[in-house]
Homo-oligomer: A and B are copies of this chain.
Amino acid sequence: MAELEENADDVFELDRIRRLIDLMKEHDLGEIDLRQAGQRIRLRRGSAPTSPPTGTQPGLPLSAAAPPMRETVPTSGAGGAAAGGAAANPVEDERHVVYIKSPMIGTFYSRPNPNAEPYVRVGDHIDEATTVCIIEAMKVFNEIPAEIGGRVIAILVGDEEPVDFGRPLFKVDTRK
Q: Which one, A17-25, A81-89, A109-117, A134-142, is touching chain B?
A: A17-25
* B30 A47 Cβ-Cβ under 8 A: yes
Main secondary structure of the interface of A (DSSP, over half): mixed
A55: chain B residues at CB < 8 Å are 52-56
A positions within 8 Å CB-CB of B: 1, 4, 8, 10-21, 23-25, 27-56
* A53 B50 Cβ-Cβ under 8 A: no
Across the interface, A38 reaches (CB within 8 A) one of B23, B31, B33, B37, namely: B37
**Interchain nearest-CB distance for A10 vs B (Å):** 8
A43: chain B residues at CB < 8 Å are 29, 31-33
A145→B12 CA distance, assembly (Å): 48
A to B CB contacts below 8 Å, 13 in the list: A4-B12, A12-B34, A12-B41, A18-B23, A21-B27, A30-B48, A32-B43, A33-B44, A36-B38, A37-B39, A45-B47, A53-B55, A55-B56
A124→B36 CA distance, assembly (Å): 53
**Interchain nearest-CB distance for A15 vs B (Å):** 8
* B39 A14 Cβ-Cβ under 8 A: no
* B28 A35 Cβ-Cβ under 8 A: no
A56: chain B residues at CB < 8 Å are 35, 55
**Interchain nearest-CB distance for A23 vs B (Å):** 6
A122→B48 CA distance, assembly (Å): 41
A1: chain B residues at CB < 8 Å are 13-15
* A19 B14 Cβ-Cβ under 8 A: yes
Cβ-closest chain B residue relative to A35? B40
